[in-house]
Structure 1
Amino acid sequence: MNEYKMLFDYHTHTTFSHGKGSIEDNVKEAVKKGLKAIAITDHGPGHMTYGIKREDVPVMRAEIERLKPLYPQIEIYLGVEANIIDTGNNLDVTSEEIPQYDFILAGYHFGIRECYSAANFMYSHGIGTGAKRTAFLKERNTKMVVKAIEENNIKILTHPGDKAPVNMAEVAKACAKRGVLMELNMKHPHLTVDEIKIAAKEDVKFIISSDAHISERVGTFEAALKRAVDAGLDLNRIVNIQKV
């Protein structure tokens, strides 16, 4: 994979949620890796354990504005990895809060209210994995994810298929219709090779993200790119990878 480079990394975390490094730590690593842009996208405020505090969003924005003139060689964005839920606008970031961010990522996580967290957690740990139960969970999760895509201006759907089984074809159709990028995640194994093959049948584009929770992981992409290659994906459909 040495013949490719990552252009930008739009999914990174900091100490404002579940990460170990500061915003500046992530920016420094992105500069070191030669990236053209980075986004700080901490977990949405609905997460009961490590969501961002709503009052910290202006603090994060101020820090990014402070850093921009110090690192003019890179674009720095403030986003959020909103949690997909099954109420309201289907995100734990409200429609009124969305303008605080440069763009929105959305993904499914445990530890959120009103997203069938307990049922999906048990399923992911091998409890209740029969055919009927699988079909039921897939249908319910798919409706929840698709509604989140349809009702919001989401830039990236993070690690689709992780933690909650879905009908990947239906999710990919929704992403294609709304222009949402489907993520190949470095921290999680989703999209898997098989999921990439299913999603690629739709007119959808992909993005590789480090999902870095420590700054040293910012800008990593090789394992996710290998999954794309193994799936036979046309790598021109990955928007942030370029052949050297």
Structure 2
Amino acid sequence: MEKTKKYEMGYDLHTHTIYSHGTGSIEDNVKAAIAKGMSHIAISDHGPGHRFYGIKREDVPKMREEIEALNRKYPQIQIRLSVEANIVKNGNHLDVTPEEYDQYDFVIAGYHYGIPGCYSISNWIWGHGLKLGEKRLKTKNTDMVIKALYENDISILTHPGDKGPFDILPIAEACADTDTLMEINTRHPHLTVEEIKIAARTDAQFIISSDAHSPERVGDFESGLVRAKEAGLDLSRIVNLREKK
């Protein structure tokens, strides 16, 4: 069996900083990525709709200026500004509007608690053991995610299946149809082994992300690779995984 030590993460596109829920600065994350030999890193702090740790909209231009300066300071790595938008049931189904897209190099998105208009309370209760109405909640959650995928240009669907019941197969089919990468997250257990098996039945492609909330976790990928291998996923479908030279 191939060892995880044969592989490394080429780039990490899901990291957080003090601008939202992280503990390190943008530069701290960049230095960590450089130390691990990565070619790219993205700063993708939580979307502005989150009640507890979303970015402030007025900070986005400041983040852009900081990243441009760091790209000049560290030419050995490409630093990109993204945002982990929150999926909601209304409007364009994200807490980042189409008019705000131009502020970012690309947008990733996932489902989180703490957002108005996304069945947070029902999903939180479900996640804490009360499974009443699971079928109806799964239908609503799945519909919400699929609408977000088709109505927005989302580069990565973060931790699919996390924080509620979701039907992974139609979500994976929508990701394949919209060229959205499905994330194997190493901070959360999703995609799980079983979810990877389901998603692999479609043409969806995958990415492993650290979802780092501290600089020392930037570039963490091993547990995601273990899950992918256990699921029997063709590792060539993980776009940021590369064999060590």
Which TM-score band (shorter chain)? over 0.9
Structure 2 residue aligned with 1:228: 228
Displacement of 1:99 in angstroms is 1.0
For residues 69 and 62 of structure 1, the distance between their equivalents in structure 2, rounded to whole angstroms, comes to: 11
**3-state SS in 2 of match to 1:139:** helix
Measured against aligned partners, the alpha-carbon deviations of 1:165-223 in whole angstroms (never above 9, x if no partner) come to 11100100000000000000010000000000000000010000000000000001000
Measured against aligned partners, the alpha-carbon deviations of 1:97-139 in whole angstroms (never above 9, x if no partner) come to 0110000000000000000000000000001x14xx1111110
Structure 2 residue aligned with 1:48: 51
For residues 32 and 116 of structure 1, the distance between their equivalents in structure 2, rounded to whole angstroms, comes to: 40
Structure 1 residue aligned with 2:139: 139
Measured against aligned partners, the alpha-carbon deviations of 1:150-175 in whole angstroms (never above 9, x if no partner) come to 00000000000000211100100000
Match of 1:76 among 74, 79, 103: 79
Displacement of 1:225 in angstroms is 0.5
For residues 72 and 142 of structure 2, the distance between their equivalents in structure 1, rounded to whole angstroms, comes to: 43
**3-state SS in 2 of match to 1:20:** coil
Pair 1:88 & 2:78 matched: no
Unaligned runs of 5+ in 2: none
Moved over 6 A (4+): none
Aligned AA (1:49): F
The aligned runs of 1:74-153 (5 Å cut-off) are 74-127=77-130, 129-130=131-132, 133-153=133-153
Aligned AA (2:81): L
For residues 165 and 217 of structure 1, the distance between their equivalents in structure 2, rounded to whole angstroms, comes to: 27
Q: Aligned residue pairs: how many?
A: 241
**3-state SS in 1 of match to 2:122:** helix
For residues 26 and 156 of structure 1, the distance between their equivalents in structure 2, rounded to whole angstroms, comes to: 20
Q: Percent identity?
A: 61
Structure 2 residue aligned with 1:21: 24
The aligned runs of 1:62-73 (5 Å cut-off) are 62-73=65-76
Structure 2 residue aligned with 1:181: 181
**3-state SS in 2 of match to 1:163:** coil
**3-state SS in 2 of match to 1:96:** helix
Q: TM-score, normalised by structure 1?
A: 0.98
Q: TM-score, normalised by structure 2?
A: 0.98
Aligned AA (1:190): H
Measured against aligned partners, the alpha-carbon deviations of 1:42-93 in whole angstroms (never above 9, x if no partner) come to 0000000000000000000000001011100000000000000001100000
Structure 1 residue aligned with 2:214: 214
For residues 37 and 23 of structure 2, the distance between their equivalents in structure 1, rounded to whole angstroms, comes to: 21
Displacement of 1:243 in angstroms is 1.3
Structure 1 residue aligned with 2:205: 205
Pair 1:31 & 2:34 matched: yes
For residues 137 and 102 of structure 2, the distance between their equivalents in structure 1, rounded to whole angstroms, comes to: 32
